Structure 1
Amino acid sequence: MGHHDHGGTDLPPFTLARALEYSPDAVFLSGSLLVLALYAWGVVRLRRRGDAWGAGRTVSFTLGVLSIAAVTCTGLNDYGMVLFSAHMTQHMVISMVSPILILLGAPATLLLRALPTAGRGRRGPREIVVAVLHSRYTRVITSPLFTITLFVASLYGLYFTPLFDFLMGSRAGHLAMMLHFLAVGLVFFWPIMGVDPGPHRAGYLMRMLELFATMPFHAFFGIALMMGSEPLVDTFADPPASLSVDALSDQSAAGGMAWAFSEIPTVVVLIALVIQWYVSEQRTARRLDRVADRDGDRDLVAYNAYLASLQSRRG
């Protein structure tokens, strides 16, 4: 799949410039381009029809996909095979940053609006998407019980068991792990702050609680790495000499990253949630005002009619 071997023995010391060098991963590069092309197709289709689509959504989605490419199609991906801190940067971006940006881009809403409706009684792609979004399967995988468990298990079940070393032993394993991180992030954040239609969503307060439920686990995971007195995973226990890196201090840096990333995206999502909550409250208030105005007019008309009937009786 890749064009070069990840033995890592010949990698020069890790610097920001080297981390940002272009080093494409065929799967992630083609996947990112395909997804961006599909999104652009949807937006163009809507615009041609005369429908509006917020520029903010397009920007957010594009940044989300680019953030995936930034950690998988650069030197960071090469260093991520031999340095715990580089790998953790990839993991955190792809599971905590990319999903939030992608979800704020409302891709499912765009898809549903761009796909044509099939004729009566027929099932086209649009009808299949709607059926999947409202299926029991989707309801299960987006329930807090499932998403929180999956999110926590992805950290502890992977890094504290031999599974991690097994997956890191091959390009395919590494690829599967990155795709898993992305999927877990999408499934976790979708019911909390996604703008797309989907299964029944909890109230805003419950969603905030869901968000906070994972924070202690995430923080503890980061602290466990930072405090570790020996390398926790074999893959990163013996970094190539050319990197002149101490395995324990690198593991500590990875832990610090995991800890920081549990806080930063959480704050961003919290702000997004508060804004969404405020907007929805405003919408409800406006709707209630309209109803009150309408009912008020109706009462006034009825009262006037009543007065008129009294007049006519007197007359």
Structure 2
Amino acid sequence: MPGMTQDLPPWTLARVLAFHPSANWPFLIGCVLLLGLYLTGVVRLRRRGDSWPVGRTVAWVLGVLTVALVTTTGLEEYGMQMLSAHMLQHMVLSMFSPIILLMGAPITLALRTLPSGGRGGHGPRELLVSLLHSRYMKVISHPAFTLPLFIASLYGLYFTSLFDFLMRSTLGHELMMVHFLGVGMLFFWPIMGVDPGPHRPGHLMRMLELFIGMPFHAFFGIAVMMSSGLMVQTFAHPAASLGVNPLSDQKMAGGLAWAFSEIPTFIVLIALTFQWAKSEERLSRRKDRTADRDGDKELNAYNDYLANLQRRSGAQQQG
């Protein structure tokens, strides 16, 4: 139960990674469902003879596993008494898991596998398409909404009494974990650009959106590390068996927050670079096919234009 002090042994990697009876069961069930639904979609595609990149499946599985790793293992229990453990959960759920999950292209898979309502019908696929094109989705996926939400999820939570209030109940803790994951998915969805969406900026704009948000995240980590007092009271009195100094643990939590501002930047930049290269390659192939069909009409027209300019220049000089 959040807020209750229980005797826990000092945390080790084995204790943190081991499955624990106090696991976050809603998240465990949710992870199983996410894996099952995704793999069902992949199998359905395979059975009808369609292909689906193995890399996307691997990314989705790894993404779900990272969510399970921080919510259904011993880390969940330590996260109730140590800010550093809680911050690790927060950073993984909001900064790492969303990126890996989005690489799995779940919306694209759903659009290819959900049943259609037929001509003039309104099946699951049509409902999803309608949602993607809705005004609501345009608003919540726009940087003017996602960026302030991403920043407020840090400063508005830890620098106010909201965090202590939420940690008083299991429901509050669950909502916080869901919020971390949801905000991360919303923020990185248009930046990753793997799935279709109402907001699809170019590659340079995606990088700009990423670089705008990350400094706020890094500054948050530095502010936590340099704080001379405890920011939250939930972790003011950890179990004596942990042998943890709350202020030192808070500094470690700040260090984790600062470090995680670099990790997603590195991963996303690599992904965007590959996407950009593939996009240019597809554009080049498209132009080559067009040139083959029309006998390179565009290039010939440009050459004629240059020749015409040269003739006019010669005529002017002779005159």
Q: Return the TM-score normalized by structure 1.
A: 0.91
For the 8 Å contact 2:3–2:169, the answer to whether it is kept is no
Q: Which residue of 2 aligns with 1:14?
A: 11
Who is 2:216 aligned against?
217
Look up the match of 1:202: 201
Residue 174 of structure 1 corresponds to 173
Mapped contact 2:164–2:233 kept (Cα < 8 A): yes
- Cα-to-partner distance string for 1:266-291 (whole Å, 9 max, x where unaligned): 11101101110111011011101111
Cα distance per residue 1:69-111 (max 9 Å; x no partner)? 0000000000001100000000000111110111000001111
Deviation at 1:162, TM superposition (A): 0.5
SS at match of 1:119: coil
Distance 2:215 2:59 in 1: 28
Quote how far apart the aligned CAs of 1:194 are.
3.5
1:238 and 2:237 matched: yes
Q: Percent identical across equivalent pairs? A: 65
Moved more, 72-81 or 4-13: 4-13
Change (3 A) 1:227 1:209: same
Matched AA of 2:19: Y
- C-alpha separation between the residues in 1 aligned to 2:297 and 2:287? 15
Give the corresponding residue for 2:158: 159
Correspondences of 1:49-198 after superposition (within 5 Å): 49-198=48-197
Stretches (4+) displaced over 6 A: none
Q: Deviations over 1:138-163 (max 9, x none)?
A: 11111111111000000000000100
Q: Is contact 2:2–2:80 with CA below 8 Å preserved after alignment?
A: no
Please state how far the C-alpha of 1:8 moved relative to its aligned partner: 3.5
Q: Which runs of 5+ in 2 are unaligned?
A: 299-319
8 Å contact from structure 1 (residues 6, 78) kept in 2? no
For the 8 Å contact 1:104–1:194, the answer to whether it is kept is: no
Question: Aligned-pair RMSD on alpha carbons?
Answer: 1.4
Q: Distance in 2 between matches of 1:275 and 1:147?
A: 24
CA distance in 1, matches of 2:149, 2:221: 17
Q: How many residues align?
A: 296
